Structure formats: C-alpha cells, structure tokens
Chain A
Amino acid sequence: MIPELGHFALILALAVALVQASVPLVGAQLGIERWMRIARPAAWALMLCMAVAFGALSWAFVHDDFSVLYVANNSNTALPLVYKLSAVWGSHEGSLLLWATVLSLWTVAVSLFGRGLPLAMLSRVLSVMGMVSIGFLLFMLLTSNPFERVLPPPLEGRDLNPLLQDPGMAMHPPMLYMGYVGFSVAFAFAIAALIDGRLDAAWARWSRPWTTVAWMFLTLGITLGSWWAYNELGWGGWWFWDPVENASFMPWLVGTALVHSLAVTEKRGAFKAWTVLLAVFAFSLSLLGTFLVRSGVLTSVHAFATDPARGLFILAFLGVVVGGSLLLYAWRAPAVRSHVHFSPVSREAVLLLNNLLLVVTAASILLGTLYPLIVDALGVGKISVGAPYFNAVFVPLTLPLAFLVGVGAMLRWKQDRLERIWRHARWPAAVSLLAGLVLPLLFDHWTWQAALGIGLACWVGLTTLEGLRDRWAGRSRPLAALARTPRAFYGMSLAHFGIAVFVTGIALTTTYSLEKDVRLAPGESYVLGGYEFRMLGVHPVHGPNYEAQQGTLEVWRAGRRVAVLHPEKRVYRVQRNPMTEAAIDAGVLRDLFVALGEPLGSDGAWSVRLYYKPFIRWIWSGGLFMAVGGLLAATDRRYRQLVRRDARAMLEAVEATA
C-alpha cells in the first residue's frame, strides 16, 4: 500500500511539474500576474510530492518490503539500518528518485530566497526548473519505476553491494547530487535571462550565490568520493580517472570557471555571453554524467545496470534540454555585447586565462572520456584511454592555473601595473623558491617533482596570504580594515589556500609513498618508513551480514606503540564476493595503511600489504578548505542585503499601488 502511495505521489509530482513549467512562464511572457504567482505554491507542492515518494521508498527499505523489486535487489534483513537508508540511493532507480527530490528542494530554496527577485524573473526561473523536473519524473515513470512490485515476493533480499556499505559512500551521492542539481539553478537563471533578453549585471548577481553553493556541494561530493575510493577499493589510490569520476569532475571544472566569470560579469559587465554559455555547459555536463553512467555506451566500474531504452530516453532528454538551450543561445546571445575594455595586466585578463585553462582542461577530459566511443563510431577500431593520457593532459594545464591563482586575486580590475604586483610577489617568490629547493631534503631523497610541488604550494599559499595582508597593511586602523573586508574575500582566500594544501598533498603523496607486500606470520614484523609493523595474528569475526578474517597488527616507532590496526578480509553472506577492508591509522603528516591479502601456509601467515602515505589527508583537506571557502563566499552579507533591499522596494511598490 505504502509503495503504491509513493508511486501515486510521483505521478502527482509530474502533474504539478507540468503546471509549474508552463503556467508561470506563459504568465511572464504575457504579463499576467496571477499566472506568475502560481510558480511558488507549485514549487512547494512538488517538493511535498517528492518527499512523500522518497519517504515511501525509505519506509519500504526500513520494513524490508521485498515485494518491491528495488528493495529486494538492494537490501537484506541483516543489513544495518544506516545502510538500509543509504541503500535508497544505492542503485539506478533510487538514485534518480534522490536526484528529483534534491531538485525539488533546490526549487523550493529558490522560491524562498528569491523573494527579492522581480516576479517575472522568479517565475521564469522556477518554470525552467519545473521543465527539468518533468524530464526526471518521466524518466522514472516510463523506464525506471522504483516502486515496481515483484510477485511472489522473495523471502530475503539480495543485499546492498558491499562496496557501498561504507559511511563515505552513504554520504557521497547526496552531496554530489546537491552539486549536480544545484547547477540547474545557475542554468535556470541563465535560460530565464536569455528568454527575457536582458543579460545584465543583476542577473549575474542573482545567480552568483546559488552557483557558489552548488559548487561547494560538488566539491564536497568529489572529495568524499575520492576518500571513499581510498578507504574501500583497498589499494591506496585516491583518483582513477574512471569515466564516472570524470563525469563528476568535468562539471566541477566548468563550474569553477563559471564561479569566476560570474564575478567578472557582475563587477565589470564583461564576458556576458560567455558566462551564460558556461552556465549551460555546467548543467549539461551534469546531465551528461548521468547519461554516461546509465546508458552503457562506456564501460566503467560505476556502471549501473544498463538498458538501451533508458539510454535512448536520456539522450532525447539531453537533446531537448541542451539542444533547446543552445538554440536559444544562438538566437539571443548575438545581440548581447560587452563594451568593456581592460588591459592585459588586470584581473579581468587573468580571469579570462583562468576560464580558458579550466574549459580546455574540461574539454580534454571530455575528449579522453569519449574518445573510445568516437573511434568506435567512426569504425576505425576500439581503444581504451587510461590514466597515462589524463595525467599527461591534466598536469601541464593546471600548473599555470595554480601559478596564477594568488597573483590574480591581488590584481586590480581594469588596469594594473606589473611593478606593483612584483612588489607584492617578490617575497613569496623568493620564499617559495627556497622552500622548493630545501624542504624536499627533509624527506628521504630530493626529487624535482617534490620541489616543484612544494614550491608551487608555497607560492599559492603565500601570494594568497599577501593578498589578505594587502587589505590591512599600511592602513591607519588595520583591525577595522580587516573587519570591513567582505566575507566573500575571506572565502575566496580560503578556497585558494585549499589549492596550496591540495597541491602539497599530491606532490608529497605521489613522490614519497612507500609500499611493500610482505608475508607475516604471527610474531613476525616488518619495518617500513621508520614504522615497525608487528603481526599478532588473524582471527575470524562475525559481522551483521558478513564473515571476516580480522588481522591484528601493532605499529611501533622509537619504542612506542603508535597504533593497533585491524584490517579485515570480508565475505558478505548474500553476495559472496570477498572484500578487502583496509585498516588505516590516519594522521596529519602521514597515513599508515594495512590491507590483508591471502592466507599463506599453515603457520597462520598472511600476505599483507603495507603502505606509508605521507600527507595524503592534505589532498582531501584541500577539498574541504575549498568547500568552506565557497560557503563563506556564498553567505556574504552583500547578497542578503540585496535580497532585503529588493524586497523592501517591492513592498513599497505594492503599497503605492494599493
């Protein structure tokens, strides 16, 4: 009964979305205020329907209702409750439901915080979001209904994929989807502005905080995904250039470009047509990500069960959404001209370069991801593109980006002088050069990769700090100057500082990681990176839905016990595939990572993989810094004041007519 209620709520949601997508838009075009006013209640109604549907599926999982096919395929009575709940989005149908639910949440958020917008603008934005909702709801109802029943119902479910039974994986999809779907807001603003025909600074100001928040979630989602891969795939890597990882990374790159070009459009009125295009691209790439995962055109570890009917539907959907917006763009954008001039030494110029580099990077990754398909479609042959290509393209393109980031933030708009910048940049340059040459000597050998990485990280960090110092140095009241500095500036600096942290992590982890496969019997030990790993033994343990062999290893250093680690080799009772559950002693300066291999011989010996990974946490910390920076920037007082001011202006206008 409850699942049918959920199914019904989905159908109702489709009806509401149809109204939301059409009535307010027509109202805005014809200037009928009553029609425009339907947009906001419709957004709320849509969210309510989605909440009922999502709640119904969660209910089915919690109550082990295996008569629902999706539950039977992805759950089990022995599955811990947390994972029953996260299993809701553990596979294709449910993750679509999550996507549509998140979209309805964003729609309501826009209608709540967008009260200060002109009514016609708000109606158009909400209508465009309604159109996207229609697409996803139709997709679910026509090809991927999560509430489908199975008769007779099985007594026991097939359990959730063991890889997904991890806290990181439970949180990763919601964060990622908040980001993907969040770009639909920037997209809707761009389309609304194109329909309206006015692409001005106001449009950029309205969509800026939304874009930044979406970007923040996507940053968090990707960071969590990388951390999960490190924990769960069990061989110490943190990024694999898998098509699905690329699918989330491309919108992030374009989104980062968008965040920066929106700043130029808002402050200087430049890059208008380009910014709109980026907003369309960021969301299109999010949709493309969905397409690549589910259509079966590419092979990937993440691939959901593939079905050509689904692929065809998504392709048609993609064609309508992206093709339609690009058509609108080709029609409207030629009329938009930016009459803004800036010198080659100015913040605009550096941001233009930033945009170019980010977009070219995203395009190269798109090319690498699609290349096997292109070659196949042309009938030339079949190939697979791997990490060697992506590293070869990614590193040279992003090095200049990191090089420019701190300096770019210090440059003035319109025109600046190189001498002024050099005055600020010379001490960071000197210190970074020195640090790059000397600091690697603290590790066991000097390499130029480490020198480059450390030098670059110092350069990014120090120029960013110098940018902050520039805000108060030489002022009569430095503290007041610091307090007056907008929160958005601190946010930007923090995010840029995150790049420094991230680069440090990559450079040191890739250069100085140590690893060893050893055979350890109880009582034996092995020394790696100055740490002694002592094997105490391996014993069977019982988990709620798995059996495991659990090892116990002590880690000693300088006569002191640093950690006790319990790596496991698990076999999940239902799906029967063995899983390596690595044990990690995490630290700011290094991780110690132990994974069990296979039992060897009769004396209780096991093959064990040991890793010493210096500074690996810095990679994800960098991501966190960026996300927090994004949050600070998006919550700047400026945007809230604007909303309040606009709302007051509207109130006065209403009173005047009354």
Chain B
Amino acid sequence: MNRKRILLFSLPLLFFGLLVALFLRGLELDPRRVPSPLIGKPAPTFTLPRLHDPAKTFSTAEMKGKVWLLNVWASWCVACRDEQPLLVDFAQRHLVPIVGLDYKDDPRDGKRWLAALGDPYDVIAVDASGRVGIDWGVYGVPETFVIDKHGIIRHKVIGPIQPEILEHRLLPLIRRLQEEPA
C-alpha cells in the first residue's frame, strides 16, 4: 500500500472536515445580520421600467421629500415568500410608500408570484440585469432599505423582515424620519 493511495482515500474525510468547520461557523452566524457601508450615504439614483406598465418608468427622483422603503425581492427567492404576508399586512396600514425592486427576475414570473402571494408595493421597478442591485450593494434577497426625505439611506434589513424588527426598529425610525423637516 503506497502513501499516495492512502492520501487519495482520505480525501473524502478531509473534505467532510472542511464542511463541518463551515457548519460550525454557520451556527454562530446570524444569516440576517450584515453591515452596510451605504448607511448614511445618499441612495443611488436609478430610472427603471415599471413591472405592471413597462412603457412607463420609475425614477428615485419621484420619491424626493418623502420617507420611503425600497424592498428588493424576486420570484425565485425563497425567503421572500416568508416575508410577503408581513409586507402585505404592513402595506394596508398605509404608513409609508413601499417601492419594490424586482431583482434579476423574469417579469412574468414576478407578476405570477405577486398574484399568488399578494402585492404590497406602491410601485415596482424591474432590475432585470441586476445593475441597480449592484449600485445599492444588494448581497442577497430580500433586502429592505429605509430612505429619508433627503434621499439618504438610513437603515437596511437583510433577509425577511421579522415582526419584532418591524415594530421595534423600522416603525419608530420611520415615524422619527417623517417628523424631520424636508
């Protein structure tokens, strides 16, 4: 039995060792927490076609002077399905305009998905190529940004919004921002 052969047959074990290290790290990590360098910076501007009316466009300039949310989603995103009922519920309270960014998605899939799960958005922009997503530093989907009246990104939630986060972090922030002078 030569040494090379033993090494070869130990490869699966080594590979598995790496996997276990990865999982150990994964247990410590919270898949939803991530720092964003964009917080406190002006929100990148964009002009994109609208999902329900591709002939028209949506531009970030339209939101000037308002506090608004940008929710990045896609029909292929599994975690978005978790989030959708909460967003739909939240949208019915009409507290703040919600702009959807349909990210790297086929618009037909997107529409079908909304029809099935509900549409909480005031307007949806289609980012089929993912270019705007890059500008906004989108790591994963879903992500939600809070933008203030001056067009500054004030907060970012990675992953599905949880009810506690909505009530205790997002809502107080939105109220405070809405009271700020334009």
Binding site for B on A (CB under 8 A): 233-236, 240-243, 273, 277, 280, 284, 291, 295-301, 308, 311-312, 315, 318-319, 322-323, 326-327, 329-330, 333-335, 370, 372-374, 376-377, 381-384, 386-388, 515, 517, 577, 580, 595, 597, 607, 609
Establish whether residues A334 and B78, one from each chain, have CB atoms under 8 Å apart when the complex forms: no
CB-CB < 8 A to A297: which residues of B? 23, 26-27, 29, 31
Most buried by B among A297, A372, A374: A297
| Docked complex: B22-56 residues within 8 A CB-CB of A | 22-27, 29, 31, 34
Interface stretch (choices B7-15, B61-69, B92-100, B167-175): B7-15
Known interface pairs A326-B16, A372-B31; A388-B139 also in contact (CB < 8 Å):
no
When distances are taken between beta carbons in the complex, the residues of chain A under 8 Å from B116 are: 233-235, 580, 595, 609
Q: Once the chains are docked, how many angstroms separate the CA of A374 from the CA of B79?
A: 18
List the A side residues contacting B29 at CB < 8 Å.
297, 376-377
Min distance, Cβ A620 to any Cβ of chain B, angstroms: 21
B13 x A311 contact (CB < 8 A): no
Residue in A243, A301, A370, A372 whose beta carbon sits within 8 Å of that of B82 in the complex: A301
Q: How far is the CB of B160 from chain A (nearest CB, A)?
A: 7
Tell whether, in the assembled complex, residue A329 and residue B13 are in contact, meaning their CB atoms are under 8 Å apart: yes
Given contacts A315-B27, A517-B115, contact A300 B12 (CB under 8 A): no
Q: Are B140 and A515 within 8 A (Cβ)?
A: no
Residues of B within 8 A of A372 (CB): 31, 140
Contact B31 A376 (CB under 8 A): yes
Which residues from chain B contact A296 at a C-beta distance below 8 Å? Answer: 27, 31
Interface residues of B in 127-147 (CB under 8 A from A): 139-141
User: Do residues B25 and A326 form an inter-chain contact, with CB atoms below 8 A?
Assistant: no
Contact A334 B6 (CB under 8 A): yes
Q: Does chain A have a CB within 8 A of B163?
A: no
B20–A318 touching, CB < 8 Å: yes
Question: In the complex, A187 Cα to B26 Cα: how many Å?
Answer: 27
B81 contacts the other chain (CB 8 A):
yes
Interface Cβ pair total, 8 Å cutoff: 120
Q: A299–B159 contact, CB under 8 A?
A: yes
Q: How far is the CB of B133 from chain A (nearest CB, A)?
A: 11
Q: Contact between A235 and B113 (Cβ–Cβ < 8 Å)?
A: yes
- Alpha-carbon distance A322/B104, docked complex (angstroms): 38
- Shortest A137–chain B CB gap in Å is 22
CA distance A233 to B12 in the complex (A): 38
Cα distance, A234 to B117, chains bound together (Å) = 9
- Residue contact B31 to A382, C-beta cutoff 8 Å: yes
Is the Cβ of A384 less than 8 Å from the Cβ of B140?
Answer: yes
Question: For the complex, what is the distance from the CA of A329 to the CA of B13, rounded to whole Å?
Answer: 8
Which 7 A/B pairs are nearest by Cβ-Cβ distance?
A386-B76, A382-B139, A235-B116, A297-B26, A326-B13, A330-B10, A377-B25
B49 → chain A closest CB, angstroms: 19
Q: Which residues of B contact A333 (CB under 8 A)?
A: 9
Q: Which of the residues B78, B111, B112, B139 comes within 8 Å of A301, measured between beta carbons?
A: B78
Q: Which B residues are in CB contact (< 8 Å) with A277?
A: 12
Beyond A236-B112, A297-B29, 17 additional pairs, beta carbon < 8 A: A242-B78, A296-B27, A297-B26, A297-B27, A299-B78, A300-B79, A315-B23, A322-B16, A329-B9, A334-B8, A372-B140, A373-B31, A387-B76, A388-B104, A517-B115, A577-B85, A607-B115
Q: How far is the CA of A295 from the CA of B29 in the complex (A)?
A: 12
B26 → A minimal CB distance (Å): 4
Residues from chain B with a CB closer than 8 A to the CB of A315 are 20, 23-24, 27
B27 touches A308 (CB 8 A): yes
Q: Are B78 and A377 touching (Cβ within 8 A)?
A: no
Q: Which of A235, A273, A311 contacts B112 (CB 8 A)?
A: A235
Cα separation A388 to B128 with both chains bound (whole Å): 13
Residues of A within 8 A of B27 (CB): 295-297, 308, 311-312, 315
Range of interface residues on B (Cβ < 8 Å):
35 or more
B13 A330 Cβ-Cβ under 8 A: yes
Contact A323 B16 (CB under 8 A): yes
In the bound complex, residues from chain B placing their C-beta under 8 Å from that of A291 are 23
Known contacts A330-B10, A334-B1, A377-B22: A299-B34 contact under CB 8 Å: no
Question: What's the minimum C-beta distance from B55 to chain A, rounded to whole angstroms?
Answer: 19
Q: Give the chain A neighbours of B20 by CB distance below 8 A.
A: 315, 318-319, 323
**Which residues of A sit under 8 angstroms from B115, Cβ to Cβ?**
235, 517, 597, 607, 609
A515 to B113, CA, bound (A): 13
Q: In this complex, what residue of B is CB-closest to A332?
A: B9
Distance (whole angstroms) from the CB of A272 to the closest CB of chain B: 12
Whether the pair B12, A326 counts as a contact (CB closer than 8 A) is yes
A248 vs B22: C-alpha distance when bound (angstroms): 21
Interface 1/0 per residue, B83-110 and A, CB below 8 Å: 0010000000000000000001000000
> A312 vs B26: C-alpha distance in the bound complex, in angstroms?
10
Min C-beta distance of B129 to chain A, whole Å: 13
Q: How far is the CB of A383 from chain B (nearest CB, A)?
A: 5
Pull 10 A–B residue pairs with CB atoms less than 8 Å apart, ordered by A.
A295-B23, A295-B27, A298-B31, A299-B159, A315-B24, A326-B16, A373-B23, A517-B115, A580-B116, A595-B116
CB distance from B54 to the nearest CB of A (A): 16
- Which one of A240, A242, A382, A607 has the highest number of Cβ atoms from chain B below 10 Å of its Cβ? A382
List B contacts of A515 (CB < 8 A).
112
**A300 to B77 CA separation, bound complex (whole angstroms):** 10
A240 to B74 alpha-carbon distance, docked (Å)? 13
* Residue contact B76 to A330, C-beta cutoff 8 Å: no
Is there an interface contact between A384 and B79, defined as CB atoms closer than 8 Å? yes
Query: Which residues on A sit within 8 Å (CB–CB) of B85?
Result: 577
Q: Which of B9, B34, B77 contacts A330 (CB 8 A)?
A: B9
Contact B139 A383 (CB under 8 A): yes
Tell me whether B9 and A334 are in contact (CB under 8 A).
Answer: yes
A residues in contact with B26, CB < 8 Å:
295, 297, 373, 376-377
Q: How far is the CB of A529 from chain B (nearest CB, A)?
A: 16
Question: Is the Cβ of B82 less than 8 Å from the Cβ of A299?
Answer: yes
Bound Cα distance A236, B26 (Å):
34
Q: List chain B residues, Cβ under 8 A from A284.
A: 16
A295–B5 Cα distance when bound, in Å, is 36
Which partner residue on chain A sits nearest B34 by CB separation? A382
Nearest B residue to A327, CB-CB = B13
- Alpha-carbon gap, A580 to B116, bound state (A): 8
Chain A residue contacts of B8, Cβ below 8 A: 334
A243 touches B12 (CB 8 A): no
B81 (CB) vs chain A CBs: closest residue: A301
